[in-house]
Structure 1
Amino acid sequence: MPTPVDPAPPRGAPHPREHGTARGWAWHHSGLVVADLDAAIRFYRETFAFEVDFLVRDMDEQFRRTVGLDSVVCDLAQLVSPFSGTRLELLEVRGVPAGTPSRFPVHVGVGHSAFQVRDLEASVYALIDAGGSAMGEIVQFEEGRAVYCWTPAGTVVELEEASWD
């Protein structure tokens, strides 16, 4: 597996908007793996009035590199709540290799939380220093770079590089 990050760059003092050792500044979304993306979208639209903000079908290379599994493909939607602004990401994953551990965010019901950070490498190293690890590698998406990581408790967090400027 490729090294997920380059050596940690030197860092100055945190900005007042950055929090914790990973220097997160926003909780961007929570994600859930679902069995049927279209059915899940209908459910959240009808039941809680969520609106689709982003939808992509057949995401392969970027998703494979993010989760560190060569054969997976996903359909992904991000929905937004009209009453809280909360963003919910739904993923339908196909091609999961037999024997993939049940904690991987490719199995139905497994979730993750995504946090925005300004310096992705430094935030990954802070997570590693706290006992976590990178799951796959840092991947460039249209919106910016991101990586999935394991926490010491075995849960999944996504770190997304973004700036509030």
Structure 2
Amino acid sequence: MTTPTAHHVGLTVGDLDSAVTFYRDVLGLSVLDRFEVGGEAFSTAVGVENATGRFAHLDGGDARIELVEYDPEGDSRDDATLDQPGATHLGLSVDDVDAVVEGLPSHVETLSDPQTTESGTRIVFLRDPEGNLVELLDV
């Protein structure tokens, strides 16, 4: 068996255009590709009858960040907290967490001010427009 390597991290969103705007304009990620997928094979693979998806792939360095908007859209979920089993977040390294946070638009919600962990890493968590958790860290 070939050793797996990371290809992408996927985030399901309700409004693809709004999510792309956030990740491109607020966090500065480049859009690599936008496309749509549908058909029986896709529906079967994702386990959603008659599903189609609108996708955007963003440059996340060693792995792409995949934003996908499904039709039909599933039920919304409560705001995730990091201590819930199965919780997910997207981790993005930056040169200076404090500078990035200072430059965020006022409508971007952070869970706290930037913190330095016991390991010496400076981190902050924020929410994208869909409520997905994004960790910014300088390493």
TM interval, short-chain normalised: 0.3 to 0.5
